Structure formats: structure tokens, C-alpha cells
Structure 1
Amino acid sequence: MKHLTLEGGRIFTEARLKVAGEYRTIQVMIDTGSAKTILNEAITDNPVLDAFSIGPLKVSDYRAELQPMEADGIIGLDFLSKTGAKLNFDAMTISSSRT
């Protein structure tokens, strides 16, 4: 389970990614209206991530779109559905529905 924060009407959390053997922790916005996960091209220039996770939600060899943006990234429905994400807005958490 991973904690979510509400800032200016938007939901944020920490994500961890691994690209070319290097790990990074970034702040991402969760957007259920976005079909794709998008990362800021300043974070990485490689759209294929070795690993990507938000708390217990983990994927390997994951492809994200890269775009210039102010945020580190936007988590879309592709990641949420692939990992079986369960959003609990009462507790402000994200977890896996597959446990």
C-alpha cells in the first residue's frame, strides 16, 4: 500500500523507476482520465524502463511515453489496469487488488 496526497485537486504519489541499471524516485500524478503513462523527458530519454513501481504495483520492461512537462510524470490507465491498482480515496492509498 502506498500513500497518496491531494494537491490542488490532483492526486500525487512517489514512483520508483529503473533505467539502464540506475534507480530514481520521482513524484507522479495519478490521472485515471489518461490512457497512457507519460514521463517528463527530463527524467529519462529512454521510453523503455527496466522496472517501474508505485508501492506494491510493479512492472518490468515497461514502455512509457516521453513528453516535456512540469511534473515528473503522469500515471495513466495502462499502468493502473496492468497492475490491478486499487485506489482508496477514503484512506488516500493505492494498493493491488491482486493480493
Structure 2
Amino acid sequence: MKSLYLEKGLLYTEMSIIYNGQTLTLRRVLVNTTSLKSGISVKLAKDIGLISSECNTFSFPMERKLDYVSVGPLKVKDFKVEIDDYRKEVDGVIGLDFLKKVGAKINLDSMTLSGSRVS
């Protein structure tokens, strides 16, 4: 189970990504059941080496495959994310692609995210 928090009517949590042996924790990730794809911000994609620092915002969104994406104990291997120019206050988005893959259950009473499968 991973804890969620509510801010201005939106659900947030943390997410970790692994790419080429490097781990990066995204501290402010929007849990968005209306988004088909999960994604990370351009800045963080550059920080972990997913894209070159010369990429400009006109090239986005673009897709890249990560070694792993995890939200608490929910972990998916070889997971594609979109890289996009999100608002400054959001590090990334957990979308339906991740939520469906792990069989996510959002419990608003306990403000937790859990799942029934790990791939």
C-alpha cells in the first residue's frame, strides 16, 4: 500500500523510476484516472538521462521506456511513460495504464493505493 494525499481536490503520491541503473524519486505525482498514459516531467527526464538536455519543449510529448516504475510496493518492469512539460508543481502523472496493469485499488477512506497484481 502507498499513501495518498489530497491537495486542492487532487490526489497525489510518490513514484520511483529506474532507468539504466539510476533511481529517481518523484515526490509530487498526480494520480489521474482520466489520463490514459503515465508520465514524467521534462526536467526529471533530463535529470535521469532519458532525454538529452538539448531537447526543447516543442518536441513533447514523447514516449520512453523505463526499466521499472514503482509506487510503493506496486512495481512494473519495462514500462513506457510520456515525457511532457507538466505544470511546475507536478513531477509526473500516474495514469490508467499503470493503474490497470497493477489492478489498482484507490481507498479514499484510508487514503491509500494498493494493487492486486505486479508485473
Tell me the TM-score range normalised by the shorter chain: over 0.9
Aligned match of 2:30: 29
Q: C-alpha distance in 1, partners of 2:14/2:3?
A: 8
Q: C-alpha distance in 2, partners of 1:86/1:98?
A: 11
**Aligned residues between the structures:** 99
* 70, 73, 76: which one aligns with 2:92: 73
Q: Tell me the CA shift for residue 8 of structure 1.
A: 0.7
Q: C-alpha distance in 1, partners of 2:113/2:8?
A: 19
> Which TM-score applies when normalising by structure 2?
0.78
2:88 counterpart of 1:87:
no
Higher-helix-fraction structure: 2
> Which TM-score applies when normalising by structure 1?
0.93
Higher-strand-fraction structure: 1
Q: Tell me the CA shift for residue 97 of structure 1.
A: 2.6
Q: C-alpha distance in 1, partners of 2:117/2:43?
A: 33
Q: Which runs of 5+ in 1 are unaligned?
A: none
> Sequence identity, in percent?
43
- Could you tell which deviates more after superposition, 41-50 or 55-64? 41-50
Q: Which runs of 5+ in 2 are unaligned?
A: 51-63
Aligned match of 2:56: none
Q: C-alpha distance in 1, partners of 2:18/2:103?
A: 21
